[in-house]
């Protein structure tokens, strides 16, 4: 059994595997992830700050998805947007 701490509500809980969200916050976590995934499909070259500003999710949360292995990053190229 693992002692885990929820990344959203900071509640301590036990589970059989290492996890970052409690049962109460798992829906919130999935909603955030779905929004990020949808945004990245529309704007694939976005960084964590751009995602954060567009969705109202902190950049720290976006980077945590990278750390958890749920998001991947690639070395793309940036294009200039015409004014």
- pLDDT surpassing 90 at residue 83: no
Is the distance from CB of 70 to CB of 33 less than 8 angstroms? yes
d(CA 65, CA 50): 15
Tally of helices (H runs) and strands (E runs) in the chain:
3, 2
Q: How many CA atoms lie within 13 A of 24 on its CB side?
A: 9
- Tens of pLDDT, residue by residue over 50-81, are 999 999 988 988 888 888 888 876 666 656 66
- Tens of pLDDT, residue by residue over 31-54, are 999 999 999 989 888 889 999 999
Tell me the domain boundaries of the chain.
25-71
Is the distance from CB of 58 to CB of 65 less than 8 angstroms? no
Q: Is the full-model pTM beyond 0.75?
A: no
């Amino acid at each position: 059994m693992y002692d885990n701490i929820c990344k959203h509500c900071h509640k301590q809980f036990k589970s059989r595997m290492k996890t970052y969200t409690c049962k109460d916050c798992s829906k919130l976590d999935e909603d955030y992830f779905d929004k990020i995934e949808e945004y990245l499909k529309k704007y694939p070259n976005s960084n964590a700050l751009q995602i954060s500003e567009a969705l109202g999710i902190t950049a720290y949360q976006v980077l945590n998805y990278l750390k958890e292995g749920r998001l991947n990053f690639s070395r793309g190229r940036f294009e200039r947007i015409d004014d």
